[in-house]
Amino acid sequence: MALIVHKYGGSSVGTVERIKNVARRVAYHYKQGNQIVVVVSAMQGETNRLLGLAHELSKTPDPRELDVIAATGEQVTIGLLSIALQEMGLQSKSYTGGQVRVLTDSAFTKARILSIDRDNIINDLNSGKIVVVAGFQGNDKDGNITTLGRGGSDTSAVALAAALRADECQIYTDVDGVYTTDPRIVPEARRLDTITFEEMLEMASLGSKVLQIRSVEFAGKYKVKLRVLSSLDDPESSAPGTLITFEEKNNVEQEIISGIAFSRDEAKISIMGVEDRPGIAYAILVAVAEANIDVDMIVQNISESGHTDFSFTVGNAEYEKTLKVLNEQHDSRKFIAREIKGDKSICKVSVVGIGMRTHAGVAAKMFRALAEEGINIQVISTSEIKISVIIEEKYLELAVRVLHKAFDLEQAPVL
Amino acid sequence: MALIVHKYGGSSVGTVERIKNVARRVAYHYKQGNQIVVVVSAMQGETNRLLGLAHELSKTPDPRELDVIAATGEQVTIGLLSIALQEMGLQSKSYTGGQVRVLTDSAFTKARILSIDRDNIINDLNSGKIVVVAGFQGNDKDGNITTLGRGGSDTSAVALAAALRADECQIYTDVDGVYTTDPRIVPEARRLDTITFEEMLEMASLGSKVLQIRSVEFAGKYKVKLRVLSSLDDPESSAPGTLITFEEKNNVEQEIISGIAFSRDEAKISIMGVEDRPGIAYAILVAVAEANIDVDMIVQNISESGHTDFSFTVGNAEYEKTLKVLNEQHDSRKFIAREIKGDKSICKVSVVGIGMRTHAGVAAKMFRALAEEGINIQVISTSEIKISVIIEEKYLELAVRVLHKAFDLEQAPVL
Measured between CA atoms, the residue of chain B closest to residue A54 is B80
Which has more confidence, B102 or B288? B102
Q: Per-residue pLDDT averaged across A84-94, rounded?
A: 98
CA distances B354 to A300, B203, B247, B384, Å, are 85, 11, 10, 8
DSSP codes, A71-83 = HHHHHHHHHHHHH
3-class secondary structure, B121: helix
- Residue A386 confidence class, pLDDT cut points 50, 70, 90: confident
- Residue B411 confidence class, pLDDT cut points 50, 70, 90: confident
Of B58, B65, B80, the CB nearest to A54: B80
Q: pLDDT digits over B60-73, tens only?
A: 999 999 999 999 99
Tell me what pLDDT residue B145 has. 98
Measured between CA atoms, the residue of chain B closest to residue A94 is B65
CB contact under 8 A, A62 and B86: yes
Q: Is the pLDDT assigned to residue B163 strictly greater than 50?
A: yes
CB contact under 8 A, A57 and B50: no
CB contact under 8 A, B76 and A53: yes
Set of chain B residues whose Cβ sits within 8 Å of the Cβ of A68: 75, 78-79, 82, 94, 96
Set of chain B residues whose Cβ sits within 8 Å of the Cβ of A62: 82-83, 86
CB pairs under 8 A between A and B: 107
Q: Per-residue pLDDT averaged across A374-378, rounded?
A: 89
State in words which class domain A3-245 has: alpha beta
DSSP codes, B260-296 = EEEES--EEEEEEEEE--TTHHHHHHHHHHHTTPPEE
**Phi, psi (rounded to 5 degrees) for A135:** -75, 170
CB contact under 8 A, A57 and B94: no
Measured between CA atoms, the residue of chain A closest to residue B66 is A79
Tell me what pLDDT residue A211 has. 77
Tell me which of B44, B55, B65 to substitute to probe the interface with A (most A C-beta atoms closer than 10 Å).
B65
Which has more confidence, A56 or B283? A56
B164 in contact with A, Cβ within 8 Å: no
Residues 140-159 of A with CB under 8 A from B: 143-145
Set of chain B residues whose Cβ sits within 8 Å of the Cβ of A64: 93-94
> Is the CB of residue B352 less than 8 Å from the CB of residue B203?
yes
Q: Is the pLDDT assigned to residue B258 strictly greater than 70?
A: yes
B65 in contact with A, Cβ within 8 Å: yes
Q: Is the pLDDT assigned to residue B412 strictly greater than 80?
A: no
B139 in contact with A, Cβ within 8 Å: no
CB contact under 8 A, B71 and A71: no
**pLDDT over 70 percentage in chain A:** 93
Q: How far is B80 from chain A (nearest CA, A)?
A: 6
> Is the CB of residue B128 less than 8 Å from the CB of residue B91?
yes
> Is the CB of residue B186 less than 8 Å from the CB of residue B208?
no
Q: Is the pLDDT assigned to residue B279 strictly greater than 80?
A: no
Set of chain A residues whose Cβ sits within 8 Å of the Cβ of B68: 75, 78-79, 82, 94, 96
Measured between CA atoms, the residue of chain A closest to residue B100 is A143
**Phi, psi (rounded to 5 degrees) for B284:** -75, -45
Mean pLDDT of chain B: 89
3-class secondary structure, A381: strand
Q: Which residues contact B254 (CB under 8 A, 6 or more apart)?
A: B413, B414, B415
CB contact under 8 A, B69 and A84: no
Q: Which of B216, B161, B171 is nearest to B2 (CA)?
A: B161
Residue B314 CB neighbours (<10 A): 22
CB contact under 8 A, A57 and B145: no
A84 in contact with B, Cβ within 8 Å: yes
Q: How far is B140 from chain A (nearest CA, A)?
A: 12
ipTM for this prediction: 0.73
Which has more confidence, B206 or A100? A100
B68 in contact with A, Cβ within 8 Å: yes
Q: Is the pLDDT assigned to residue A205 strictly greater than 80?
A: no
Tell me which of A38, A47, A57 to substitute to probe the interface with B (most B C-beta atoms closer than 10 Å).
A57
Q: How far is A73 from chain B (nearest CA, A)?
A: 8
B88 in contact with A, Cβ within 8 Å: no
**Residue boundaries of the structural domains of chain B:** 3-248
Tell me what pLDDT residue B254 has. 47
Tell me what pLDDT residue B253 has. 45
Q: Per-residue pLDDT averaged across B401-415, rounded?
A: 83
CB contact burial A171-201 (16+ within 10 A = b; e otherwise): bbbebbbbbbbbeebbeebbbbebbbbbbbb
Of A57, A65, A72, the CB nearest to B72: A72
Which has more confidence, A353 or A207? A353
Set of chain A residues whose Cβ sits within 8 Å of the Cβ of B50: 76
Q: How far is B158 from chain A (nearest CA, A)?
A: 24
Which has more confidence, B338 or A234? B338
Beta bridge partners of A274: A308
Show the 3-state SS of A160-226.
HHHHCCCCEEEEEECCCCEECCCCCCCCCCCEECEEEHHHHHHHHHHHHCCCCHHHHHHHHHCCCCE
Please tell me the pTM assigned to this model. 0.75
Which has more confidence, B306 or B72? B72
Tell me what pLDDT residue B250 has. 53
Tell me what pLDDT residue A255 has. 59
- Separation of alpha carbons B211 and B229, rounded Å: 11
Pairing label, strands A3-8, A168-173 = parallel
Set of chain A residues whose Cβ sits within 8 Å of the Cβ of B16: 53, 56-57
Rounded (5°) CA angle B228-B387-B179: 25
Q: According to the CATH classification, is domain B3-248 in 1.10.3720.10?
A: no
Q: How far is B86 from chain A (nearest CA, A)?
A: 8
Set of chain A residues whose Cβ sits within 8 Å of the Cβ of B94: 64-65, 68
Measured between CA atoms, the residue of chain B closest to residue A62 is B83
3-class secondary structure, B357: helix
**pLDDT over 70 percentage in chain B:** 93
B58 in contact with A, Cβ within 8 Å: yes
> Is the CB of residue A109 less than 8 Å from the CB of residue A292?
no
Set of chain A residues whose Cβ sits within 8 Å of the Cβ of B56: 16
Set of chain A residues whose Cβ sits within 8 Å of the Cβ of B76: 50, 53, 69, 72
Of B68, B78, B93, the CB nearest to A79: B68
Q: How far is A211 from chain B (nearest CA, A)?
A: 27
Q: pLDDT digits over A233-276, tens only?
A: 788 877 889 998 876 555 444 457 889 999 888 999 999 888 87
A66 in contact with B, Cβ within 8 Å: yes
Q: How far is B228 from chain A (nearest CA, A)?
A: 28
B82 in contact with A, Cβ within 8 Å: yes
Tell me what pLDDT residue B414 has. 55
CA distances B263 to A409, B173, B181, B203, B206, Å, are 74, 19, 11, 10, 6
Mean pLDDT of chain A: 89
- Separation of alpha carbons A183 and A194, rounded Å: 17
Set of chain B residues whose Cβ sits within 8 Å of the Cβ of A93: 64
Q: How far is B267 from chain A (nearest CA, A)?
A: 30
> Is the CB of residue B361 less than 8 Å from the CB of residue B334?
no
Q: Is the pLDDT assigned to residue A58 strictly greater than 90?
A: yes
**Phi, psi (rounded to 5 degrees) for B163:** -65, -35
